[in-house]
Structure 1
Amino acid sequence: MTEFGYFLSCEEFGPDELVEQARMAEDAGFRSLWISDHFHPWNDEQGHSPFVWSVIGALSQSCGLPVETAVTCPTVRIHPAVIAQAAATSQVMLDGRFRLGLGSGEALNEHVLGDPWPPADERLDMLEEAVAVIRKLFTGDEVTHRGRHYTVENARLYTLPETPPPIDISAFGPRAADLASRIADGFVTTAPDADMIARFRARGPDRPVFAGTKVCWAPSREEAVRTAHRVWPTEHLPGELNQILPTPSHFEQACELVTEETVGQGVACGPDPEEHVRRLRAYVDAGFDRVHIGQIGPEQRGFFDFYRKEVLPLLDTATGTSGATGATGTNATNDGHGKNGGNRS
């Protein structure tokens, strides 16, 4: 049974807004939270980039939903030993409701310290080694590690949860999916691709798979399409551009090629619940355990009212899925260990 969560966008909203959205998501019946980890937004129109680990601390005190990073890159901008400490603390504060979503990252966020941005194969190799370092530190043992990419010396995490957070790996292509299949507790992606799920589950059929997608509710479809095109045209760029362009201004230049028509065809927009259900049904049919939905633009309260009253009940009826219609923090799923951007390689 597919559950539905909410996708908090650190690129589009400040920390206080994200915390308030998490409360509204819980009240509306969403069952979990994804939160992005960015140093830059994709474009200046989005306009935010709060430090995700500070926001997660606030979320732990403000709502009862499970939280997952979607996704953190533990390879260039932040050393994997520091990510391990942040994730362990988040798991403690969330009382076991945290999952660590990891991916190979984008130049947009990872080049900011002046480090070179490696090719895709090397980024995946770095990610694999980073996960090994994180898992060693989660044991609570003193760790010394000298690998191809990372050195750790006499490091030990003293604040540890009873159970380490599960590690999920993001992938959009076959090489990254194969890596996830080897090393991950769960799989993270954005496309309703059953073949990628099968590739991931080849080495472990019971592991959970999670998706994220964006929609845009507005009083009219035309207004929603305009908003989605203005704020998130980057969702529609082809190939590896999202991994290799280094600044928001570069994305703005590339997005001059993205039309409103393209956005309208690719995003559930407007006030028709059937359109939203059709888009989400593709993820249900592909076999995802959870789908996290992010509302584009400022109409957050209208979105949550719309989903609580019209979309989640329709999904329950049409697909047998679990939106927990009308749920609040007292009956939302708090299963940090249960079923809950990456690389196109």
Structure 2
Amino acid sequence: MTIYGYFLSSEEFTPAELLSQARAAEQAGFQALAISDHFHPWNGEQGQSPFVWSMIGALSQVTSLPVTTFVTCPTVRMHPAVNAQAAATAAVLTGGRFRFGLGTGEALNEHILGDPWPEAPERMEMLEEAVQVMRRLFTGDQITHRGAHYTVQNARLYTLPEEPPPLYVSGFGPQAAALAGRVGDGFVTMSPDADLVGQFRRSGGGQKPVLGGLKVCWGTDRAQAVRTAHRLWPNEQLPGELPQVLPTPAHFEQASQLVTEEMVADAVVCGDDEDAHFDAVNAFGAAGFDEVYINQIGPDQQGFFDFYRSRLLPRLHGEDNRS
């Protein structure tokens, strides 16, 4: 049975708003939370970017839902050993309900210390080595590691959960899906692509969980919802590897001038058409996903939660209560 969760957007909302959304999501019947991990927002209109580890600590105190990072890059901005300590503490605070989503990252967040931004194959190598380092640290043993990308000397984690947090690896192409199958405890991807799910499962993923996410903009005025989605998230429609290599929000704003409202209207569910929302979310389950996380764009959060509580979630769970 598919799990339906809420996706907390750290780029668009303040810490207090994210905590309020987490409580509202649990009350509405969502079963889990995902939260993004960024240093920058994608553009100035979004306007926020709190530190994810502070947010997870706060979330652990206001909700009982599982929390997954969507996703953290553990390779450049923060060393894998530091990420391992953060993840272990998050798992302790949440009573074992933390899952660590990992990816190769974007220059937008990872270039800030002046480090070079490697090409994709090297970033995948770095991620694989980072996973090895973190798994060794989660044992509680003192470790020393000297690899191609990272050095760890006499490091030991003392605050550990009863079980290591699962490491879910993100990817958007077949090579990344294969990496997730080889080294991850699960797979994260943002489109309902059955071929990628199959690649993950054939590459060692087996029956491990596959997680996906999508953005919607619920509202009673569809045209206004389209304008809101276009104003806040045009970057979602940028093609290919461009989102991984642009270094600043200003660059994303420049590139996003090429994204029209019509492009957003075609790609993002906007408005209050129940069938459109159902089809977009249900497509993930049909493609073999185990968990789907939905994010509401814009300020009308309560309307979204009311709509999903009363209409969408019962229908998605096969309890269609439509009159």
- For the criterion TM > 0.5, the same-fold answer is yes
Contact 2:108 2:249 in 1 (8 A): yes
1:44-89, CA deviations, whole angstroms, 9 ceiling, x for partnerless residues? 0000010000000000000000000010000000000000000000
Percentage of identical aligned residues = 66
Letter in 1 for 2:287: A
Q: How does 1:264-343 map to 2 (within 5 A)?
A: 264-317=265-318
Where 1:317 maps in the other structure, the secondary structure is: coil
1:92-141, CA deviations, whole angstroms, 9 ceiling, x for partnerless residues? 00001010000000000000000000000000000000000000000000
Shift of 1:179: 0.8
Aligned twin of 1:79 = 79
Shift of 1:224: 0.7
Shift of 1:204: 3.5
Aligned twin of 2:144 = 144
1:133-157, CA deviations, whole angstroms, 9 ceiling, x for partnerless residues? 0000000000100111000000000
Q: Distance in 1 between matches of 2:294 and 2:312?
A: 12
Aligned twin of 1:102 = 102
Q: Distance in 1 between matches of 2:32 and 2:283?
A: 20
Q: Distance in 2 between matches of 1:310 and 1:121?
A: 44
Q: Distance in 1 between matches of 2:217 and 2:43?
A: 18
Letter in 2 for 1:310: R
Letter in 2 for 1:244: V
Shift of 1:318: 7.6
> What is the CA RMSD across the aligned residues, in angstroms?
1.1
Q: Distance in 2 between matches of 1:310 and 1:204?
A: 34
Shift of 1:271: 1.1
Give every structure 1 segment of 4 or more consecutive aligned residues whose post-TM-superposition deviation is greater than 6 Å: none
Q: How does 1:1-345 map to 2 (within 5 A)?
A: 1-202=1-202, 203-317=204-318
Contact 2:100 2:165 in 1 (8 A): yes
| Alignment gaps of 5+ in structure 2 | none
Shift of 1:316: 2.2
**TM-score (structure 1 length as normaliser):** 0.91
Shift of 1:14: 1.1
Q: Distance in 1 between matches of 2:282 and 2:148?
A: 43
Q: Distance in 2 between matches of 1:238 and 1:137?
A: 37
Where 1:100 maps in the other structure, the secondary structure is: strand
Letter in 1 for 2:100: L
Letter in 2 for 1:273: E
Q: Distance in 1 between matches of 2:30 and 2:257?
A: 34
Contact 2:143 2:152 in 1 (8 A): yes
Shift of 1:219: 1.7
Number of equivalences: 320
Where 2:293 maps in the other structure, the secondary structure is: strand
Letter in 2 for 1:314: R
Select between 85-94 and 172-181 the one with higher mean Cα deviation: 172-181
Where 1:116 maps in the other structure, the secondary structure is: coil
Shift of 1:314: 2.0
Q: Distance in 2 between matches of 1:48 and 1:262?
A: 25
